Structure 1
């Protein structure tokens, strides 16, 4: 057999990943990008359609925010209601670098702890952007009515969580995910009532329509009638949750089967670290009486 190293490089298939991350230092990438990107006139937003697939914390928040900005949003839910999203299962809290405890927290420290907690596998530019907007996310949740725990004086309470050296976790008892989801759901319903968002429940995405390398629509299956439906838009947002049910042992909801991610993969999207997914210790099989749970 010919050794792999002997194969001419010109015969190897091209493999190039373009993550679309802006140039520059990590702390300035997205700030510079926002300062130079093209904007859409508010009067023109009503002429643009956006499809948002998913109605969990990401999907409901994206759909309601885009609707409030003035875009026409089509929002698809695989369940009978957005309140059925598996986002409800998150309990511990949500992190933000507000430094309410005055214990030295900062955007950089949140960025570093998150990258380290991800075993240095995370895309650093995106993690830094997440740390940057974390404070605004908390403010948005409060505006939506999420009843975070508060100190006696009225300020939002924090606790140390997940091995962090500072107190940056905002929580609502043991029901943080549920309360966040209800806040996003209420915001989504407000935009549905205003007419900026059209909600389609019990729809499963079967395919993505690509035009000139861009996602411009989706093919949906109506889970009530079984009919296939097609929808077109200027942009498509996939917020379809995790794929924990791909594993035999999982505490994820039955809908977390990764079916939408597979459709994106078939159309050219890259998937990485597929085994790097969240599990719960209760899924670990017992191998003996000496095993601690």
Structure 2
């Protein structure tokens, strides 16, 4: 009904037109068959994991995944993890790990509050968004990704030299929360560009414009890139480490997706 209202086409009679959208580039968190991440006890359900759709999803199917995971999967899989937790002793907050974590978070907050620049988190966030939209979206190029990495570094410098967080750190401060999340986004943005630059092929949601067939379809390179990429974070100013999980298909024939056939 929504589609017919927007397009004035009856989807029961005419196939729906599907076009690429920015959320195709989201990717997804790795989970096992019980929707548990690589961190024991941490589950990722719904649209944030890649269990059903990965990076290349359609809008309505994200809703389906959220409902399916929430209603039918996690109630039966999380209890498998919880079943043996009764044997785990309760932790008290006077452990040194709690003190170290609190100290690290307070230091991070104090650092951001003390910059006292002129730009709000929203202003810097918007600048980063334009870089990602223009250069690290669905259509990517070698030159664009190299430029994106340089511009992300410029945004990062602006963040740490000209950020202004109004209010107090000990109050309910939404501007501080934005700044903390934006600091994370800067790391993720750089990682996305590095990953896209590393994969010299077009595949799924990753379309490198240098790698396409004569008719405009994606030119995949299964010889060199038949693996799932995972990058190990080693520090803001350190080079991440590429980890590979090979894709070995034995029961199906690997074929290139073609939307024209």
State the TM-score bracket (shorter-chain normalisation). under 0.3
Q: Which has the higher strand share?
A: 1
Q: Which has the higher helix share?
A: 2
Could you tell me the TM-score, scaled by structure 1's length? 0.22
Higher relative contact order (CA 8 A, sep 6+): 1
